Structure 1
Amino acid sequence: MKICVVGCGAMGSIYAGLLADAGHQVLALHTGQAHVDAINGVGLRVEGASGDRTVQLEAVTQAPDRVMDLVIVAVKAAQVEAAGRALGKLIGPDTMVLTIQNGVGSADVLARFVDPDRLCIGIAAAFGAIMRGPGHVFHNGMSLIRIGPYADAPMSKVEAVAEVWRQAGFKTEASADVLAMQWEKLICNVAYSAPCALTGMTVGEVLDDPEIGPISRAAAIEAWTVARALGIAIKVDDPIAHVRAFAAGMPNARPSLLQDLENRRHGEIDVINGAIPAAAARAGLAAPINQTLTALVRQRERGF
């Protein structure tokens, strides 16, 4: 299968490397020239929970005029619109598109540029990834990829996309209720993204910290309460057990929001902790914990 991974940062590089290692013809589309040069020169090294391998694949900084079978949009939420504008040359009449970001709302942006009925949403659970350097990525976990349709994509096509990931070694589920999938992950994200970013702690350190741990859990409870108030069919009965299990599976993970602050980059706070107050307002509720965490991160980002 011809696959383009758009946005080969830490997470995108894991996807590209393992899919290429499974025998697919993978094109990595990334704006960082040093990373692209390293991949083309010596290959892409992926190490961590999936093992340690160096994979040969092609990398480019601009989309070529080449139709793909599957396009995976793995940029961060703030870059989804720009990525959508660049997809035209990659999309043919049968191309499926999978967008996979933290938080909620990215698929709505991408649907302005691609046929919503060929768009899928992916959720990566318990993958902590960092760049070791150009052409080299490490990941702590490899728990689950969940894939669902954005609009009216047939489940047979969604399942076909999921099977591609399974063949590459990912534990993958196809589900028709993608909104519930997103919120089940979002509950975990809000518990650790902002708290880790603001303190410099790992996920496991936040989990066990006597001061920050209660704040983390309160953020998760808020998100869980909002999801239930909105009638989202999450399969989470106990939000504290849910986020503790998440952290226990990857205690050394450093969320991308923490890495962004350390590198003086604007992160995804608006679609993670920042998404909870907006959703709470629709349900006639307030979300003061997540609103405060969002404001603190935005203040840190103001000088970037």
Structure 2
Amino acid sequence: MVIKKVSIIGLGALGILFGNQLAKKLPRTDLRIIADPGRIHRYKEAGVFCNGERCDFNYVMPQEACEPADLLIIAVKYNGLDDAIQAVKQHVGEKTIILSLLNGITSEEIIGEAYGRDKILYSVAQGMDAVKVENQLTYDHMGMICFGGNDTEKVNSLSEFFEQAEVPYEVDPGMLKRLWGKFMLNVGVNQTVAVFKGNYGVVQLDGPARTMMISAMREVIALSKKVGVRLSEEDLDYWLRVLGTLSPDGKPSMAQDVEARRFSEVELFSGTVVKLGKRYDVPTPVNEELYQRIKSAENKYTMA
């Protein structure tokens, strides 16, 4: 299978980052950004910018008839996933490969229930330090997309496509463990930086923020052993090294949300950890504290 037509839904940091790279390598009509009419109007009026460069995207509405995509990238926030699943119907065909770049450990299962687990390759985006403010995305490190699965043909096709498109990638046969590892990192970094109202720098150096972050991550390690994934201290060290490569001035998505007074993905992070902790009788006091502090901040949005 040769990947030629690509569709992306979600123009957050990851959608812009990888969409901009693919737009430079594909014919304009072969890369389709799926969005509702209101969003398309805003994107065209104000523009979408990546490191100061205006992105020349080909926008399509969900209801527009089109050929199915060879590759569909879902890059929305978790609270937009249900709507996104409905919006991409025209783009999913028998041989479509679907990548979910959402945070968390549940989106592949939800998408697979709608379109078939055989279309999904487990994937995570890691190592980028992108910051999005309104319609402007800036980054120093593009990071990479890690993916894998049992379908060798799909894995090989995607590898060849990313090679040609110059998208950094890594194939990992143990993607479920990497998915949990990225979840562990997000649980620690996203929430801690948001609570401390800082940037990556506040958790890259020793201090109260880094201590809280690592404690939150260790609660995920304990949970992973209950579900058979079995993260270890070695995995913790690996993801801390990934964190260490990021620009200290960058900010994770949740910190950007809290700063902009947008509702965050806290339910996806500490919300999930606390629920799993109760299910498996694993103490999660650090994530309980993070959850309460972030929810308390969000509750004030409606009071202002």
Normalising TM by the smaller chain, what interval?
A: 0.7 to 0.9
Identity of aligned residues (%): 21
Which structure carries more helix by proportion?
A: 2
Q: 1:267 to 1:61 in 2, by over 3 A?
A: farther
Distance 2:275 2:201 in 1: 28
Which residue number in structure 1 is paired with residue 245 of structure 2?
249
Question: Helix, strand or coil: the match of 2:270?
Answer: coil
**Is 2:207 the counterpart of 1:210?**
yes
Which residue number in structure 2 is paired with residue 126 of structure 1?
127
Question: Helix, strand or coil: the match of 1:274?
Answer: helix
Which residue number in structure 2 is paired with residue 4 of structure 1?
7
Question: Helix, strand or coil: the match of 1:113?
Answer: helix
Which residue number in structure 1 is paired with residue 33 of structure 2?
28
1:79-117 CA-partner distances (Å, limit 9, x unpaired): 111100112111222222111111111122212321221
Q: In 1, are the aligned partners of 2:50 and 2:137 still within 8 Å (CA)?
A: yes
Q: 1:21 to 1:144 in 2, by over 3 A?
A: same
Distance 2:267 2:146 in 1: 22
**Is 2:256 the counterpart of 1:259?**
yes
Once the two structures are TM-superposed, the CA of residue 35 in structure 1 deviates from its matched residue by: 4.8
Q: 1:243 to 1:91 in 2, by over 3 A?
A: closer
Give the letter for the 1:266 counterpart: F
Which residue number in structure 1 is paired with residue 268 of structure 2?
271
Once the two structures are TM-superposed, the CA of residue 125 in structure 1 deviates from its matched residue by: 0.8
Once the two structures are TM-superposed, the CA of residue 185 in structure 1 deviates from its matched residue by: 0.9
Which residue number in structure 1 is paired with residue 57 of structure 2?
57
Question: Helix, strand or coil: the match of 1:131?
Answer: strand
Q: 1:161 to 1:234 in 2, by over 3 A?
A: farther
Distance 2:12 2:252 in 1: 13
Once the two structures are TM-superposed, the CA of residue 243 in structure 1 deviates from its matched residue by: 4.2
Aligned length: 292
Which residue number in structure 2 is paired with residue 182 of structure 1?
179
Q: 1:246 to 1:62 in 2, by over 3 A?
A: same
Q: Which moved more, 1:80-89 or 1:205-214?
A: 205-214
Give the letter for the 1:247 counterpart: L
Give the letter for the 2:144 counterpart: L
Q: 1:186 to 1:220 in 2, by over 3 A?
A: same
Distance 1:179 1:270 in 2: 21
Distance 1:290 1:119 in 2: 30
Once the two structures are TM-superposed, the CA of residue 71 in structure 1 deviates from its matched residue by: 1.1
Question: Helix, strand or coil: the match of 1:237?
Answer: helix
Which structure carries more strand by proportion?
A: 1
Which residue number in structure 2 is paired with residue 46 of structure 1?
50
TM-score by length of 1: 0.86
Distance 1:131 1:223 in 2: 28
Distance 1:105 1:292 in 2: 23
Q: Which moved more, 1:189-198 or 1:201-210?
A: 201-210
Give the letter for the 1:221 counterpart: R
Q: 1:301 to 1:242 in 2, by over 3 A?
A: same
Unaligned runs of 5+ in 2: none
TM-score by length of 2: 0.86
Q: 1:38 to 1:137 in 2, by over 3 A?
A: farther
Unaligned runs of 5+ in 1: none
Which residue number in structure 1 is paired with residue 139 of structure 2?
139
